[in-house]
């Protein structure tokens, strides 16, 4: 039998029920009011515990929140990056433990939260945002939901003119801004040779424009994709797709920097 692991005060817990779920920090001897009744925590609770509501009619299980759970619970200052898209970015850009990553357009900090665990305590995330109200929300989200406090949030509005002015080269750069084209020159200067970039693009006309601009700024291996996600209802005897799905959110554009001048490779 596996030994029980106690939940520490302040740790994020995911309370799951067949119809509803909650994520919140654990506080001993506290109560939660839900539409399924009141849930009461004891002085000590363990991961995997099943607890009942006040009248023992509904049961909840205490689990570790997944990274996807954390991302979908962020307080939103802007449209967030969806887990399906962030997963593709991680796979396509080779983010690794110890990497230095530049994020342009902090938004709600969903991307920074997602890669915090990957770059780890030896890595660093530099996240640029030009709107102070967005940055304040993003910092609160990151401090609450990231596994490591390994991000530096920078408020700056003229990067397209003066660059990022960082003291080290970045292993990967992520752009989620309305008009990324004017930033490509400083992105190239800030990226390690052969490094990868990911650009979030909302519409196909903008995608075509940026694809034409990337070779002029020294990028090759240009590729784009769109991710659709459809869940499956795992009910014994009635397994079928859910009626709704997460279809178009953004286009994902990837490229790698190069040193010389040669024919640009567009992946087919």
Instruction: Say how far apart CA 125 and CA 13 lie, in whole Å.
Output: 26
Element housing 24 (H / E) = strand 21-25
The tally of CA atoms less than 13 A away on the side-chain side of residue 109 is 30
Instruction: Tell me: pLDDT of 260 over 80.
Output: no
Residue 266 banded pLDDT, cuts 50, 70, 90: low
Separation of CA 189 from chain center: 25
Highest mean pLDDT out of 34-38, 79-83, 210-214:
210-214
Higher-confidence position of 78 and 134: 134
Query: What's the rounded Cα separation, in Å, for the pair 214 and 61?
Result: 49
Confidence of residue 87 (pLDDT cuts 50, 70, 90): very high
- Is 192 exposed, middle or buried, given 0-12, 13-18 or 19+ CB atoms closer than 10 A? middle
Phi, psi of 216 (to 5 degrees): -65, -25
97/117 Cα distance (integer angstroms): 8
Q: Return the exposure string of 19-52: e unless at least 16 CB atoms fall within 10 Å of the residue's CB, then b.
A: eeeebeebeeeeebeeebbebebeeebeeebeee
Mean per-residue pLDDT, 236-261: 91
What's the predicted TM-score (pTM) here? 0.88
Q: What is the mean pLDDT of residues 100-113?
A: 95
Domains, the chain, with CATH or none: 12-63 (3.10.330.20), 68-257 (3.40.50.150)
pLDDT at 261: 57
**pLDDT at res. 73:** 82
Asked if pLDDT for residue 189 goes beyond 80, the answer is yes
Residue 178 burial (C-beta neighbours within 10 Å; 0-12, 13-18, 19+) = exposed
What the block records as the tokens of 40 is: 């009461």
| Cα Rg of the chain, angstroms | 22
């Amino acid at each position: 039998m596996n030994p029980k692991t106690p939940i520490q005060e302040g740790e994020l817990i995911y309370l799951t029920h067949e119809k509803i779920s909650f994520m919140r920090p654990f506080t001993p001897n506290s109560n939660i009011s839900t539409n399924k009744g009141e849930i009461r925590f004891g002085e000590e609770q363990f991961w995997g515990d099943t607890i009942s509501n006040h009248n023992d009619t509904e049961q909840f299980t205490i689990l570790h929140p997944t990274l996807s759970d954390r991302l979908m619970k962020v307080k939103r200052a802007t449209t967030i990056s969806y887990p399906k898209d962030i997963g593709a970015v991680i796979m396509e850009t080779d983010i690794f433990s110890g990497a230095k990553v530049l994020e342009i357009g902090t938004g709600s900090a969903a991307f920074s939260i997602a890669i915090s665990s990957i770059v780890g305590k030896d890595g660093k995330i530099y996240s640029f945002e030009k709107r102070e109200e967005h940055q304040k929300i993003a910092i609160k989200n990151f401090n609450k939901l990231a596994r490591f406090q390994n991000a530096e949030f920078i408020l700056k509005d003229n990067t397209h003119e003066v660059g990022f002015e960082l003291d080290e080269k970045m292993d990967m750069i992520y752009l989620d801004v309305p008009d990324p084209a004017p930033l490509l020159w400083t992105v190239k200067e800030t990226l390690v040779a052969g490094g990868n970039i990911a650009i979030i693009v909302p519409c196909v006309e903008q995608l075509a424009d940026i694809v034409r601009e990337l070779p002029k700024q020294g990028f090759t291996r240009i590729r784009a994709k769109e991710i659709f996600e459809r869940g499956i209802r795992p009910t014994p005897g009635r397994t079928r797709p859910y009626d709704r799905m997460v279809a178009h959110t953004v286009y994902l554009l990837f490229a790698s920097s190069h040193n010389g001048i040669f024919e640009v490779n567009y992946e087919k």
